[in-house]
Structure 1
Amino acid sequence: MSDDDVLRQLREEWEPRAAASPRGWNPDPRVQANSLARLAELSRDRQMAAGEQARLPRRSSRKQRLTLTVASIAAAVVTVVVIGSVIGSGPQPSYAATPDALVYHPGAAVTATDLLRQAAKAALASKVGGAGSVDFIRTSSWDLNSRVDGRKVTTAVVPLNKQLWRGPGGAAVTVRQYGQPTFPDQDSRAAWEANGSPGANSRPIRVDHSAGDYPFLWPDRPPTRDGRLRDWLGQGHDVTTSGPLLMAIADLLNERVLTGPEAAAVLRLLAELPDLEYTGTVVDRAGRPGEAFSVTSDYSGLPTRYTVIVDVDAGSFLAFEQTLTTEAGQYNVRVPAVISYLVFVETRFTARMS
């Protein structure tokens, strides 16, 4: 076996795992042992060709996985250095996977205030779908810091699909299931597969929560009077600035189906924000057209654009997104980068808790 043959075989085994590692070089110990054994075999072949017989001891324990002759170790070290150089120069994910940014188109020459007031009037005139006293919310979400099957995935975007039923007494039912993963490139897909394809073919997980068990942020319904709503949202959030206020509204939408008057109050509150900008028209991640409104804030420590997407004609909320604009900080992403999204796929009232 030639040096080129060994290099080729080791690259086939090590490159996918090196690409999957945040540090670029963190192979599985079993793969490492097998690879070093091949290096030892190469050294033995060379010694035999020179008329010298070399005998390789077997692995004996966890602390001593592979014992090689001095000549074999030397060959292993030299070749591993070469392999490390080869893998380091090959294609591998240098940034964490993030979703594609939505495409915003400049809208009509109107202000955010005017559009949101129009949406508030539409909300008052609309009737929320369904009948009953149980809130039903179906969402699709992703977050850069989320874990899939207990593992942090940096090479794929794996959304979480969630259904929530919230009863009037505080009882709840949740069903969670991972969605179809997406990848920025083929190397990222290969790295995700080498990591065990976390989230693939996952089954729905249902959990029944008795009253008081589910961590709802607000036990009561939101007020519909403008003067009270901001203070009410501030029970669990810092709402002194616009960025965290938009996050509080997203949290509210994640646990409540808003009635027409409640949605109108939230829309009027947004219309009062002096730094809220009309970002333009957009199609959200569920394929629905809407109008986007954004605030840029460094409340989190990094300049972040918080965007809420609204169906102005219906007076309803479609989605919420966070995007790093100019700096990544400790995040291993290329800016601008979407670091979180929440899509309100379906919201309605129902009579049953499932």
Structure 2
Amino acid sequence: MADELELLRRANPVPSGDPRFGEGPLGREAESHLDHLLAGAGAGAGAGVGGERRPPRSRTRFVWALAASAAVAVTAAALLVAGPSTTPAVAAPRPLVVRADSTPVPLDRMVERAERDAADGSPGLRKGTHVQSWSVGMSEDEPPITLPVERVMRWNADDSHTELVVATDPRHPGRPVLSEADGGPRLVDDGHVISEQTFPPSWSDAPPQAPPPRDATRLRAYLREAQHSDTPLTTSELLDAAGVLLDTWTLGARENAALARLLADAKGLRPVGQVTDRLGRPGQAYVYDGTGYRRMLVMDPATGAVLGLEATAAADEPEYGVEAGDVMDYSAWIR
């Protein structure tokens, strides 16, 4: 990969510090370099120092990133060769980092804060959600890609609802975003509308459409029903169920307190300290090391509300191009 990045840098039409960088089309010489680079990728990218052959997947990753289409190739090249100080807009998010100087807060303490916040009953429960998510798409034929999406779901008085889904990454406002569209991944403008739909009224009284309870005992049964489980939920399943709940409802203070109590009673969730989530909000983090994935729960330090959930790979999955520590899924809920 280091050799491939060096080839990319040599194809750069102007230096990264040049004020013209990214402002216009590639010049004739740059186009010639890029054409040569694409034409030679299959022949030269597989050879390493001393003629050693590299695995074919690295060539696939490189060619796919540059040659999806002419327009995407130019844009992707501009993003990838912008210099070592620039974060590519198409890059996968790094795992959240716990502040080394922070003090872990026990979940029981978060329950106390949530219950104190719920004393006056406000804010109230609201059906609908606003969530920013990053998820990884994988296949055996292509390298993994991270798709950032913002989704807003609003319910109307007649029980119909609308859902707006846009491609956007708040870490890189205004920059192109990788999206799954028209049968394959491509770069789209920030804020590109993926879908906008209106759904007819639904009168389902089953979870998660039914309003969630305000006490932990009944909420536990509610989430088990929402997950269609006949047995008590494991900690990993409970975190999944919490995600389903928050993808449907914006919880009120009392529902937040009930969920915080459930999470405090779960086995294996350990406090690790303070983080800043991908929307720039401070949070207290709790980690569960399950089979295959490491789950991180992020909670509001003032109210005990769930701010986000992150899943990272616990082991390499070379058949999919995934390495231990890669972020597989992340959701940040917005009030």
Distance 1:170 1:21 in 2: 51
How many residue pairs get aligned? The number is 256
Cα 1:9–1:100 change in 2 (3 A) is closer
Cα 1:297–1:137 change in 2 (3 A) is same
SS of the aligned residue for 1:175 comes to strand
1:344 aligns with 2:321: no
1:277 aligns with 2:270: yes
> Is the CA contact (8 Å cut-off) linking 1:142 and 1:157 kept in structure 2?
yes
1:291 aligns with 2:284: yes
- Bigger radius of gyration among the two: 1
The alignment's TM-score, normalised by the length of structure 1, stands at 0.60
Cα 1:308–1:235 change in 2 (3 A) is same
After superposition, where does 1:218-257 map in structure 2 within 5 Å? 218-237=208-227, 238=229, 240-257=233-250
Instruction: Output one character per residue of 1:52-75: Cα deviation in whole Å (capped at 9) or x when no partner.
Output: xxxxxxxxxxxxxxxxxxxxxxxx
Instruction: Output one character per residue of 1:92-137: Cα deviation in whole Å (capped at 9) or x when no partner.
Output: xxxx95311111125436533x2232233234136655x8x85342
Distance 1:245 1:287 in 2: 26
The alignment's TM-score, normalised by the length of structure 2, stands at 0.63
Partner of 1:124: 118
Distance 1:163 1:326 in 2: 33
Cα 1:163–1:196 change in 2 (3 A) is closer
SS of the aligned residue for 1:159 comes to strand
1:135 aligns with 2:127: yes
Distance 2:122 2:142 in 1: 37
Distance 2:121 2:40 in 1: 56
Question: Is there any run of 5+ residues in structure 2 with no aligned partner, and where?
Answer: 1-31, 46-56, 71-89, 173-177, 179-183
Among candidates 76, 79, 103, match of residue 108 of structure 1? 103
1:211 aligns with 2:186: no
Question: Is there any run of 5+ residues in structure 1 with no aligned partner, and where?
Answer: 1-6, 32-95, 184-188, 190-194, 348-354
Question: Offset of 1:155 from its aligned partner?
Answer: 6.8
Instruction: Output one character per residue of 1:40-63: Cα deviation in whole Å (capped at 9) or x when no partner.
Output: xxxxxxxxxxxxxxxxxxxxxxxx
1:334 aligns with 2:328: no
Instruction: Name the Cα RMSD after superposition.
Output: 4.1
Question: Offset of 1:235 from its aligned partner?
Answer: 1.3
* Greater relative contact order structure (CA < 8 Å, 6+ sep): 1
Amino acid paired to 1:141: S
Instruction: Output one character per residue of 1:169-222: Cα deviation in whole Å (capped at 9) or x when no partner.
Output: 542111111014989xxxxx9xxxxx88433352363211111399x9512111
Question: Offset of 1:320 from its aligned partner?
Answer: 1.1
Partner of 1:262: 255
Distance 2:314 2:268 in 1: 16
> Is the CA contact (8 Å cut-off) linking 1:171 and 1:213 kept in structure 2?
no
